[in-house]
A and B are shown apart, each in its own frame.
Chain A
Amino acid sequence: MILVIAEQRDGKLNRATWETIVGAQQLAKVSGAPITVLVPGAKAAGVAAELAAAQTNEVVTVEHAALEPYTPDGFTATLQAVIAQLSPAYVFLPHTYQTRDFAPKLAARLDRAIVTDVTAVKAVAGETAFVRPMFQGKLTADIVPQGPAPHFITFQIGAYRIDQVVKGPAAAPLRALDVTVDASTIRQKPEAPFQQARQAVDLSQAERIVSVGRGIKEQSNIALAQQLAEALGAEIAASRPICDAGWLPMERQVGSSGQTVAPKLYLALGISGAIQHLVGMKGASTVVAINKDPDAPIFEIADFGIVGDLFEIVPAMIAALKA
């Protein structure tokens, strides 16, 4: 059985969990192993219901006082108890900061193999191997974990695309799991999580971004871009001149001296595409550029390019989105 450990906080799912489910489904397709998704922590029910859409054998929740707030000791102890009950062959986790915090400890506690930052699963000479980068990505290694089960596997964020998740014909059955954990083994007392003030706007997590450049011409025109952003449900961002001029706050600057973003959609309005801007958005999945200069470097990297006047195109887009 493949046990996927979901990650959530306050009932909000970390989307990397979906990617890990893809990894599990790909292995299950070959080995035929059943998949169990475990949602640990308070308010797990909503997340479990959401994850039940994927084709798995069951989704189990475990809500225990030892899990809230998050501590590596609490998670290790709880998951140790869960693993003892379910005895999986593999434990799959998204390679998040939280996973990095407790998974090595959990594997060490159980004296089991762990393969981290995995990008793919494949068969090597009849055995299941996990592919991971080595030496800063210069090499990749196929690793076959040895020793008794379970083997711990953490998947690199972005190893799989979320839209590769196979949905089930019906929702997977839900089950709540009871475990006994000695809460006195928890040695950490964490403070409430907080966000560093400097980056009040975290564009790196935005799924859609409307970004404006000098082609916007006047400060008053920023409103037009803002309307488009609202219609798209996107964050607004800008290139350096706009933030230098104070038309948008510094924290919305994208580029080598601003934030680095990786949205699904990056809509560049009147951005020429200077290299120091491009490096801040190179992770975007789809880049749409509107610029009146057909030679603008932004078109070199755009998936879709519109050569024209953004003051004609943007209102038309807003109208179409609202229709």
Chain B
Amino acid sequence: MAVVAFWLLFVAFVGAFAAQVARRVQLIAGAPNTFSTDNLRLRANRFLVDVVFQARTIRERPMAGIAHALVFWGFVAFGAYTLTEFLRGLGIVDLTHSGWFNVYRVMLAPFAVAVLGGILYLLIRRALVRPVALGTKVSLESIVIALFIATLMTTYLLTFQLAEGTMAERVNWWVHMLVILAFMALIPASKHFHLVVSPMTVFLKSPELGNLPNLDFEKEQVGLETVKDLGSKSVLDAFTCVECGRCQVNCPAWGAGKELNPKTIILQTQEALLAGTRDRKLGEMYSDKVLWQCTTCGACENQCPVGIEHLPILIGSRRGLVSNGDAPDYLGAMYNNLERRSNIWGLGYDQRAKFVQSAGLETFDPATHDVLVWLGCAGSFDADFQKSLRSLFAILRAKDVRCGVLAKERCTGDPAKRTGNEYMFQELANGNIEDLKASGVKKILTSCPHCVKTIGNDYRKFGYDVEIEHSSVFVEALLRKNSAALSATGSAAFSGPRETVTFHDPCYLGRYAGKVDEPRNLLTRFGADIVEPERNRDNPYCCGAGGGLLFADKEEEPGSRISDVRFKQLQATGATTVVTACPFCSIMLKGAQASAQADTQFVDLMTYVKDRL
């Protein structure tokens, strides 16, 4: 009788679960396939770190993260227990009297206590503390789930108290099993679906942050225009979101009071998919205003603990808008500059030639030069950043590194790529790749982190493979070798006065390239005592220049300027010198400093090192 009742309940609840899952699987399968499984080693490693060890969950919010890890590990530990009880309830096989089960059952006790502790902490946090990232209203469903989990653990622990066969024991067993069934039926339509899918999503997340495969114009790809254009990974992402809000609180646009909230983007996607509004225009759904507020800093994607990729959606939608001629005016002006003059400023290349000549640079020749220095739009035209390049050249000369430059450069296409103007990006990229190939270069050195990402990652997608390093990485290694020879300790021979500085990690260096120690090693070796700002290393707060926003008007930016917010964070360190390592960060932060009428000194990393060499 009990077995029949349990079977009926089992079929009903598991059926409800399966139907909801099937709907989502259908949506994922129906979307254009964007899944990839390249670089298995990195994926496996990330699975281990982020899923098994919950690193990304714990890193940013240690207390909540550990509480979550306890619940997660508890769930995994209880897997066989739950299965055994189901087999028994369904009358298939009763293994509960076997020796191993009783040992296993006892071993679960500390896990149950840990889960109870963890879930209680999370329940209090969600219901009473209510951090902003979790949304403005308390999710009732989350409270129910938390109580379910607490009930499961309590009913498990009670089995040690209740004698088998008693009424109390039977009630306890039924409560336990019914909660599991109800839990299953609730999961797919809630953020708890991440229990089922997030391990897959983490595994399927691109090994490259901000991965934007090239559009194939032959296949008339124009980017994402409507809901049905969203790729399968994006659809999976939408159903994986756990609504923790790490993307939100780390987003510089959201932090500066703008409308963009990466979490909202994902939830809007989910809602539209389930509503079946396949022809809904993404520009309207997300709001084109919001789509243009993203600096492509990558914080959302990088902080997400469940493997969601926001940038393919944000930039993919920009591609759709640009293909329909819906870019903001300031980008239109920049595209004109790129089209007519092949650089973002719209300046003539005679100015670059003037700089190349005055800096005594030769045209690259693999026979005589060790590296090719890629100047970039800033290095070619910005007199301020050219000072930094002169410092780099002085360092290279002092260490007998022979370098050359291309006779002609175009913008790498980064601002075009990041703003969704794929056609222009490919024009620029193909031209540059042709010139780089013809030059015979094996190793490129640049002071622009955006050029590192574009040449190093995006050009690779055209089959062009070249080693490219940011100057901080190259110079750090260069001077390390050298100083090791100079002093037995391997530390620098620098003996001048030490100075307190703060370092602003560029998003495209710290977060995208993961180069956080090299600039710091250089600074420390050359007399700097670094005071770290809030948001640093591989999770810096953007300067506000990325994604084409260097060109945005203030009127087009609601809230504060991102650069002003970042400048205040840097000021708060108390250091009066800010070291930068990206021309665009330098432009933005100097602008913010000028507007704030502050006396903060800015110095580029290469100039800092050269002055103390």
Residues of chain A having any CB pair with chain B under 8 Å: 136-137, 214, 239-241, 243-245, 250, 256-258, 260, 273-276, 278-279, 282, 297, 300
Scan B575-613; emit 1 where CB is below 8 A from any A CB, else 0: 000000000000100110011010000000000000000
Residues of chain B having any CB pair with chain A under 8 Å: 330, 333, 339-340, 345-347, 378, 381-385, 550-555, 587, 590-591, 594-595, 597
Q: Is the CB of A279 within 8 A of B345?
A: yes
Q: In the complex, what residues of B have CB within 8 A of residue A241's CB? A: 591, 594-595, 597
Residue from A240, A250, A275, A279 with most neighbouring chain B CB atoms (10 Å): A275
Interface pairs (30), CB distance under 8 Å? A136-B339, A136-B340, A137-B340, A214-B594, A214-B597, A239-B594, A240-B594, A241-B594, A241-B597, A244-B554, A244-B595, A245-B595, A250-B554, A256-B330, A256-B345, A257-B330, A257-B551, A257-B554, A274-B587, A274-B590, A275-B345, A275-B381, A275-B383, A275-B385, A276-B587, A279-B345, A279-B346, A297-B382, A297-B383, A300-B383
Min Cβ gap A301→B in Å is 8
Give the docked Cα–Cα distance between A197 and B385 (Å): 37
Query: Taking chain B's interface residues, is the majority helix, strand, or loop, or is none over half, making it mixed?
Result: helix
Q: Is the CB of A276 within 8 A of B550?
A: yes
Known: A258-B553, A274-B591, A276-B550. A245 touches B597 (CB 8 A): yes
Which of B339, B383, B385, B555 has a CB less than 8 Å from the CB of A273?
A: B383
Q: Is the CB of B553 within 8 A of A257?
A: yes
Q: Is the CB of A274 within 8 A of B384?
A: yes
Task: Taking A275-B382, A297-B382 as given, write out 8 further A-B residue pairs in contact, using a Cβ cutoff of 8 Å, ordered by the A residue number.
Answer: A240-B594, A241-B591, A244-B595, A256-B345, A275-B383, A275-B384, A279-B346, A282-B347
Give the docked Cα–Cα distance between A250 and B554 (Å): 9
Give the docked Cα–Cα distance between A214 and B590 (Å): 12
List 9 A-B pairs, minimum CB-CB distance, nearest first: A297-B383, A241-B594, A244-B595, A275-B382, A300-B383, A241-B595, A279-B345, A257-B553, A214-B594
Give the docked Cα–Cα distance between A250 and B385 (Å): 26
Min Cβ gap B571→A in Å is 16
Q: In the complex, what residues of B have CB within 8 A of residue A282's CB? A: 345-347
Min Cβ gap B115→A in Å is 53
Give the docked Cα–Cα distance between A275 and B382 (Å): 5
Min Cβ gap B309→A in Å is 30
Q: In the complex, what residues of B have CB within 8 A of residue A250's CB? A: 554-555
Q: Is the CB of A275 within 8 A of B378?
A: yes
Q: In the complex, what residues of B have CB within 8 A of residue A245's CB? A: 595, 597
Give the docked Cα–Cα distance between A9 and B194 (Å): 67
Q: In the complex, what residues of B have CB within 8 A of residue A279's CB? A: 345-347
Min Cβ gap B221→A in Å is 24
Chain A residue nearest to B594 (CB atoms) is A241
Give the docked Cα–Cα distance between A275 and B333 (Å): 16
Min Cβ gap A113→B in Å is 27
Q: Is the CB of A276 within 8 A of B591?
A: yes
Give the docked Cα–Cα distance between A220 and B550 (Å): 30
Give the docked Cα–Cα distance between A276 and B347 (Å): 12
Give the docked Cα–Cα distance between A238 and B594 (Å): 13
Min Cβ gap A218→B in Å is 10
Q: In the complex, what residues of A have CB within 8 A of residue B554's CB? A: 243-244, 250, 257
Give the docked Cα–Cα distance between A281 and B63 (Å): 54
Known: A257-B330, A257-B553. A275 touches B595 (CB 8 A): no
Chain A residue nearest to B555 (CB atoms) is A250
Min Cβ gap A58→B in Å is 40
Give the docked Cα–Cα distance between A136 and B335 (Å): 12
Residue from A137, A239, A244 with most neighbouring chain B CB atoms (10 Å): A244
Q: In the complex, what residues of B have CB within 8 A of residue A273's CB? A: 383
Give the docked Cα–Cα distance between A273 and B556 (Å): 23
Give the docked Cα–Cα distance between A250 and B595 (Å): 13
Chain A residue nearest to B551 (CB atoms) is A256
Min Cβ gap A203→B in Å is 15
Q: In the complex, what residues of A have CB within 8 A of residue B594's CB? A: 214, 239-241
Which of B330, B339, B587, B597 has a CB less than 8 Å from the CB of A275?
A: B587
Give the docked Cα–Cα distance between A291 and B553 (Å): 26
Give the docked Cα–Cα distance between A136 and B591 (Å): 32
Give the docked Cα–Cα distance between A239 and B587 (Å): 13
Give the docked Cα–Cα distance between A276 and B330 (Å): 13
Min Cβ gap B247→A in Å is 27
